[in-house]
Amino acid sequence: MKKISYQGELGAYSHLACNEAMADYESVPCRTFEAALNCVREEEADLAMIPVENSVAGRVADIHYLLGDYDLKIYAEHFQEVKHQLLAKKGTSIDEIKFVRSHSMAIGQCQTAIQRLDLKPIVMADTAGSAKYISETGTNEDSAIASHLAAEIYGLEILESDIQDMKHNTTRFLVMSKGAQQKRDVKKSYLTSCIFEVRSVPSALYKALGGFATNGVNLTKLESFIVDGDFNKAQFYIDLDGHVDDSSVKGALEELSFYTEKLQVLGVYPKHSYRNQ
């Protein structure tokens, strides 16, 4: 059976994303993002499910540093709705609980329910790990915020469903692969993702991006990040509409290369249907 690696415990939202996007793959939990990517590089897994941004919390810290360092390509993208559940040991009533454990981000995203139930939040390393803690050592005064998958895996009861404050809470994942990219389907729309570093000359970024305008290529994302702690040396991550085989994309990337010290295509992959909602 093919395998897909992810960062987190069993029942993490990344695990849920693996199950929904790649149901015929065996999910492999890893302690870190580096370990999940390395599994693919060392051919211990076929794919890796890596979160890159959340509609509420923004970019996942440090991810852009890692995407270009493992000789992997983006195979696909996946959008996963984040629906937080309030979990407790089976048989626990909602009136008994006094504490709620979860990742700091999940706690921040469920403030309305936490305040309404007058719960004392306790920050843990991750959501699924909090559920695991409740199942192993928690009391009836303890609860956790995690996914419905975590409830199933750790035998917990869902006291309240979908307690997140914002109902549009969604995480975008990139599926990374070491092997060949998907074959082009003329019926599908594509994204191309790149990392580049501009030359240290006046107007370099302006001129580099000008090629997208002159070739009619739409940029859907442009983010900068600092490299090696040098504030004078920024790299940029971009997502653009189109396939590298499109003449317009070819022209835009050729113009971009004139003004860059580094240009790395991270992947060419179909747009997820979520973008059409």
- The set of catalytic residues is 171, 173
* SS3 state of residue 265: strand
For residues 68, 44, 19, 81, the Cα torsion angle rounded to the nearest 10 degrees is -20
Rg (CA), the chain: 21
Q: For residue 208, give the nearest of 159, 258, 274, 250 by alpha carbon.
A: 258
Q: For residue 260, give the nearest of 239, 236, 277 by alpha carbon.
A: 236
CA 3 – CA 46 distance, rounded (Å): 5
How does strand 260-270 pair with strand 120-123? Answer: unpaired
For residues 222, 254, 184, 43, the Cα torsion angle rounded to the nearest 10 degrees is -70
CA 89 – CA 239 distance, rounded (Å): 44
Residue 65's Cβ-count burial label (10 Å; 0-12, 13-18, 19+) is: middle
How many C-beta neighbours within 10 Å does residue 111 have? 13
CA 74 – CA 72 distance, rounded (Å): 7
